Amino acid sequence: MNKIQVTNVQVTNEERSMMRAALLQAGIKTRGLDDDQLTSHYLDKFSDTPKKAEKINGDKPAPETEVKPEVKDTPFSEPIIKPAPDANNIGQAIQDAINAGLSGVKGSLDTEAVIKLINQHSKAPQLVEHIIRVVPAKGKPIKIEKAHPMLSDVLDWFSLDENVYLVGGAGTGKTTLAEQAAKALKMDFYAHGAIFESFQLFGFVDANGKYHNTPFYNACKGGGVCLFDELDSGYPAPLNSINQAIENGYVVFPNGETIIIDRNKTKFIGAANTIGLGATRQFVGRNPLDGAFLDRFKQVDIDYDLAIELSMSRAAWLKGGGDEKDFSIAENWARTVIDFRATLEKRGIKAIVSTRATRGGAGVLAKGWPLDKVKHCELYKHLSADQKKQLGVS
């Protein structure tokens, strides 16, 4: 069979992770492959006809019926993405209607100008509902709906026994992502807050000789996903004490117990607002972390996600007493938060507008608060007088 070649392919992070995981399971190395090469290898391995490549090649027509490759059980992730209609699709549908209406009519209408205006003012979201199908090492497949878009990346690193460092702004879903990773692997979930002393990690023996254990101890002994949350809020020295444990899997606890960590059963994941180099203008209370500690983690950048914020806004709307038939109010609020966040970034204004604003605003809107009051409470609260003036808000 001729090898399938694709060019100028565009794939999402989820699709890229899925293909890498499938090829690795098939014994094919993926290191150093670009998207074109990765897709070519994937289609060559799992496709039984070159026609499947037509939809990926930009210069070939897509087949009328897409033949999907057989779904194989892989130890980790296979993303299933359900896109909602976007503004371009809406514009094309309107253009088709205009063309049909002008059929047989003399003269012409500037349809491109009409579509440009529609696209410019359309509120149709680029919505992706992330659904991850996971097959753990043992047990039946698990379907995780409303999965974080970076879950497949985390699972890929975990499959290689690597530690993961999640870095992203406030409220981007880092803790939720860690919990979903534990659920996907059917593992217990343990979590630490900011670490300031080593006993918070290793536990201690009290005056009566009783050992008080920790989430880190439980994860090392019995297995599980252990989250070190707010890594950059704590002190670097205590974290250096677990370098040997998270790299070589060997650790001694104050009760005298020595544990050899089974990395098939124990996974470590950290979460922080910075990359570990110290305070920033937004996160002034963050500490620099030791380079040797950071080098033991694979960094995964976490950003805000529309689908997650819409879901969060709907849930807060219902909790505040809102009706499902009025979900559009909650959804419009979520988009207002996202648009305002984008405006701040465009203007270079360093102010936090997290998903907590999405959740809180939807909740009080359901209780009947006026929109202007909600904006002042959730969007403008961190702005200085000069910044408000710059944005034209009072």
pLDDT at 316: 94
Which of 84, 162, 154, 160 shows the shortest CA–CA distance to 123? 84
pLDDT at position 297, please? 93
Q: Identify the bridge partners of residue 250 per DSSP, sorted by sequence position.
A: 260
In the structure, what pLDDT confidence band is assigned to residue 128 with cuts at 50, 70 and 90? very low
Q: 322: which 2 tokens? A: 């809102």
CA dist., res. 331 & res. 207, Å (int)? 56
Residue that wins the pLDDT comparison between 140 and 266: 266
**Cα 347 from chain centroid (whole Å):** 25
Distances (CA, A) of 268 to 48, 186, 187, 272: 39, 15, 12, 14
Please state whether beta strands 163-168 and 297-302 pair in parallel, antiparallel, or not at all (unpaired): parallel
All residues at 6 or more sequence positions from 133 whose CB lies less than 8 Å from its CB, including other chains: 71, 77, 78, 79, 80, 141, 142, 143, 144
When pLDDT is cut at 50, 70 and 90, the band that residue 114 belongs to is low
What average pLDDT score do residues 147-172 get? 89
Q: Model confidence at 300, in pLDDT bands (50, 70, 90)?
A: very high
Domain spans of the chain, in order of start: 13-69, 87-121, 150-302, 306-391
Per-residue pLDDT reduced to its tens digit, 62-75: 444 444 444 444 44
**How large is the average pLDDT for residues 253-272?**
94
Q: What is the pLDDT of residue 2?
A: 45
pLDDT tens string 6-32: 566 666 766 777 777 777 777 787 777
Measure the CA angle with vertex 95, ends 94 and 96; round to 5°. Answer: 90
Comparing 56 with 206, the larger pLDDT belongs to 206
What CATH number belongs to 150-302?
Answer: 3.40.50.300
Task: Say what the pLDDT of residue 39 is.
Answer: 79
Tens digits of residue pLDDT in 265-286: 999 999 998 887 766 665 656 7
Nearest CA among 379, 377, 360, 374 for reference residue 316: 360
83 backbone dihedrals φ, ψ, rounded to 5°: -75, 145
- pLDDT tier at 139 (50, 70, 90 boundaries)? low
Residue 278, pLDDT score:
62
Regarding pTM above 0.75, the answer is no
If residue 13 lies in a helix (H) or strand (E), which one and from where to where? helix 13-25
- Answer whether residue 307 shows pLDDT above 50: yes
Token reading at 86:
């976007």
In angstroms, the Cα distances linking 167 to 113, 280, 297, 344, 351 are 42, 13, 11, 20, 17
Using alpha carbons, select from 263, 18, 26 the residue that is nearest to residue 133: 18
Indicate the pLDDT class of residue 127, thresholds 50, 70 and 90: very low
CB burial readout 11-22, b (16+ within 10 A) else e: beebbbbbbbbb
What's the pLDDT at 140?
61
Q: Kindly state the DSSP code that residue 368 receives in the 8-state scheme.
A: T
Report the SS3 class of residue 165.
strand
Range picked from 30-39, 102-111, 354-363 for highest mean pLDDT: 354-363
- Number of H-type helices and E-type strands within the chain: 16, 12
**In the predicted structure, residue 218 carries a pLDDT above the cut 70:** yes
Task: State yes or no: pLDDT of 54 exceeds 50.
Answer: no
Residue among 51, 120, 64 nearest 91 (CA)? 120
Average pLDDT taken over every residue of the chain: 77
Find residue 301's DSSP bridge partners.
167
9-23, 132-146, 338-352: range with lowest mean pLDDT: 132-146
Per-residue pLDDT, averaged over 365-387, amounts to 91
Q: Is the pLDDT of residue 78 over 60?
A: no
Closest by alpha carbon to 354, among 335, 343, 368, 341?
A: 341
When pLDDT is cut at 50, 70 and 90, the band that residue 37 belongs to is confident
